[in-house]
């Protein structure tokens, strides 16, 4: 089958994969940007969350004594926070919300504590940051008294977090993103292959339909619903092609049949008529030519009608003998030498005997027509093949491609042949899944036509 314009550039799978990759790249770029923004604010988020937790823990160490004084026990809190450096780096104060007065500080020397000085009385609730100090205010209730717990911590913890965590976090995020993108691309590749697989299946099935298999149709099984209209359209087109081809074959066969009788009547009348010999000879030659064309049209119609083929073991040596005996008198008339060489010990193949006889008959007639007087014509049966070779003028290389075209003749201006003989041969060869090889100039100086039946050779039961 000829394939036109099948390039990677026009591949549907390639376009889908590129689109998939571009979309995936955009999505992962956005995710990467979001994670990058998160990572650079990681320390601030971590500090805010940790200070919120500390503010919740401090009220656990607060209690009022009998005199109404607020006391603070830090032992449990220090254990809970775990690290002395974290605990010692923290300063806080407790404010009575009823009169907005400081009733407790973590450092009694307020004026020497930079952290405590960063906690103004009008500090907003929640997290805030000022002059390198992290601050947090939380409203709490201790023994029924409404209080504010204000915390302050210098930015050392945040800086340590940035220095220790951010590089590692960046590496982890980068590796994770790259690995995820590669997995995404692999999954996309496999998915796209699965998507276009039905398309390739339909294309392969369509490509496998030979000209002689016009009754075959594309299978709907496993075809996605999106492709069913295309498959149905192709099957409908093939229905119309098959119908038209059958009509054409029927017309050719009917026309040939209808012409046989008038030509026979015309020949008889010419033989009985009182016509000068020269004119009678010319007319007889024309009638013979037309009769030959009609016979070959019928042979072509039979060769194309594969439904009528009887595929069974056929002895190709017997076929060769029958054809040689049939054309023996014609060989003598044309002053040629015809020989049959049998080499094959197992000459049976699966095929239609009548079609094989038509094939070999046309090959021999072709050799008889083109070889000069006294030429040798050898039919050889060997190793699952039939070959016909002659010592004629051979074939020009530029004519090789045209040999099996219908109505093509080497001498287009003469009536030496119908131009259908080798076309009939080609039809029979194709119907038998055989192969025909042409040697334009053989060792005898002429041409050789070899037909191979290797896939249809019947195994020798004695071996």
Which tens digit of pLDDT belongs to each residue from 120-131? Answer: 888 899 888 887
- Distances 143 to 8, 60, 181, 332 between C-alpha atoms, Å: 79, 11, 56, 135
CA atoms within 13 A on the CB side of 163: 6
Beta bridge partners of 315: 348
Six-digit token string for 397? 């290389």
pLDDT for 374 equals: 84
Res 86: pLDDT: 47
pLDDT tens figures, 166-188: 677 677 777 887 888 888 888 88
The backbone torsions φ and ψ at residue 346, rounded to the nearest 5 degrees and listed phi first, read -135, 75
Q: Whole-angstrom Cα distance, residue 76 to residue 60?
A: 9
Please give the pLDDT value at position 147: 92
Q: Which among 24-33, 41-50, 153-162 has the top mean pLDDT? A: 24-33
pLDDT value at residue 139: 92
**Residues 152 and 133 sit within 8 Å (Cβ to Cβ):** yes
* Number of separate helices (H) and strands (E) present in the chain: 11, 14
- Cβ-contact 379, 364 below 8 angstroms: yes
- Residue 52 has what pLDDT? 85
pLDDT digits (tens, 9 = 90+) for 197-250: 777 788 788 877 776 677 778 887 777 777 788 888 888 888 888 787 777 767
What tens digit of pLDDT does each residue of 345-364 get? 667 888 888 889 989 999 99
pLDDT at 17 over 80: no
For a pLDDT cut of 70, what percent of the chain falls above it? 81
pTM listed for this prediction: 0.50
CA geometry: angle 14, 20, 22, nearest 5 deg: 105
Mean pLDDT of 443-453: 90
What pLDDT was estimated at residue 463?
A: 41
The pLDDT assigned to 111 comes to 56
Mean pLDDT of the chain, nearest integer: 79
Q: Is the pLDDT of residue 266 over 50?
A: yes
Per-residue pLDDT of 130-156, as tens digits, reads: 877 888 999 999 888 999 999 887 766
Query: How far is the C-alpha of 148 from the C-alpha of 113, rounded, in Å?
Result: 19
Q: Provide Rg for the chain, Cα atoms.
A: 49
Query: What pLDDT, on a 0 to 100 scale, did the predictor assign at position 299?
Result: 74
Q: How far apart are CA 123 and CA 55, in angstroms?
A: 14
- E-state strands within 344-415: 348-351, 376-382, 385-390
Residue range 82-99: average pLDDT? 69
Q: Is the pLDDT of residue 4 over 60?
A: no
Select from 331, 341, 426, 422 the least CA-distant residue to 381.
341
Categorize the per-residue pLDDT at 84 as very low, low, confident or very high, splitting at 50, 70 and 90. very low
What pLDDT, on the 0 to 100 scale, is given for residue 379? 92
List the single range of 38-47, 227-236, 289-298, 434-443 with lowest mean pLDDT. 38-47
Of the ranges 196-200, 365-369, 418-422, which is most confident? 365-369
Q: Which residue segments constitute the domains of the chain, with CATH numbers given?
A: 15-208 (3.30.450.20), 214-308 (1.10.287.130), 310-456 (3.30.565.10)
| Contact yes or no for 153/115 (Cβ under 8 A) | yes
Q: pLDDT tens, 305-355?
A: 766 678 899 888 899 999 999 888 888 888 889 998 877 666 788 888 888
| Cα(337)–Cα(444) distance, integer angstroms | 13
Which residue has better confidence, 422 or 300?
A: 422
Quick check: 160 pLDDT over 90? no
pLDDT given for residue 89 in this prediction: 64
Considering only CA atoms, which of 125, 99, 126, 105 is closest in space to residue 117? 105
């Amino acid at each position: 089958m000829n394939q036109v314009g099948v390039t990677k550039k026009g591949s549907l799978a390639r376009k889908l994969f590129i689109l998939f990759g571009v979309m995936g790249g955009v999505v992962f770029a956005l995710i990467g940007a979001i994670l990058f923004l998160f990572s650079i604010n990681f320390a601030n988020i971590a500090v805010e969350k940790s200070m919120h937790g500390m503010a919740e823990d401090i009220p656990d160490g607060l209690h009022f004594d009998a005199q109404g004084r607020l006391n603070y026990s830090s032992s449990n809190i220090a254990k809970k926070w775990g690290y002395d450096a974290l605990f010692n780096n923290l300063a806080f104060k407790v404010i009575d919300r009823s009169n907005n007065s400081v009733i407790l500080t973590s450092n009694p020397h307020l004026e020497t504590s930079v952290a405590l000085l960063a906690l103004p009385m009008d500090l907003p609730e929640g997290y805030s940051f000022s002059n390198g100090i992290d601050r947090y205010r939380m409203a709490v209730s201790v023994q029924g008294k409404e209080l504010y717990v204000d915390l302050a911590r210098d930015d050392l913890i945040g800086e340590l977090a940035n220095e220790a965590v951010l590089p590692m976090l960046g590496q982890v995020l980068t590796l994770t993103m790259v690995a995820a993108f590669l997995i995404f691309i692999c999954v996309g590749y496999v998915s796209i292959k699965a998507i276009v697989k039905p398309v390739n299946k339909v294309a392969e099935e369509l490509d496998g339909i030979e000209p002689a298999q016009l009754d075959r149709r594309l299978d709907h099984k496993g075809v996605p619903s999106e492709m069913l209209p295309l498959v149905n359209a192709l099957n409908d087109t093939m229905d119309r092609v098959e119908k038209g081809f059958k009509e054409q074959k029927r017309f050719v066969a009917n026309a040939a049949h209808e012409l046989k009788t008038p030509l026979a009547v015309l020949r008889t009348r010419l033989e009985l008529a009182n016509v000068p010999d020269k004119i009678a000879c010319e007319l007889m030659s024309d009638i013979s030519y037309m009769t030959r064309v009609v016979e070959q049209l019928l042979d072509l119609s039979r060769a194309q009608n594969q439904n009528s083929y009887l595929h069974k073991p056929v002895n190709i040596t017997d076929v060769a003998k029958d054809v040689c005996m049939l054309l023996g008198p014609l060989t003598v008339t044309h002053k040629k030498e015809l020989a049959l060489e049998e080499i094959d010990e197992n000459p049976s193949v699966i095929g239609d005997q009548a079609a094989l006889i038509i094939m070999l008959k046309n090959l021999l007639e072709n050799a008889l027509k083109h070889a000069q007087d006294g030429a040798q014509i050898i039919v050889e049966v060997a190793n699952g093949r039939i070959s016909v070779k002659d010592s004629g003028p051979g074939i020009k290389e530029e004519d090789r491609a045209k040999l099996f075209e219908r109505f093509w003749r080497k001498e287009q201006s003469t009536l030496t042949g119908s131009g259908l003989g080798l076309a009939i041969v080609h039809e029979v060869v194709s119907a038998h899944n055989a192969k025909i090889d042409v040697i334009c100039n053989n060792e005898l100086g002429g041409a050789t036509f070899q037909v191979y039946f290797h896939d249809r050779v019947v195994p020798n039961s004695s071996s």
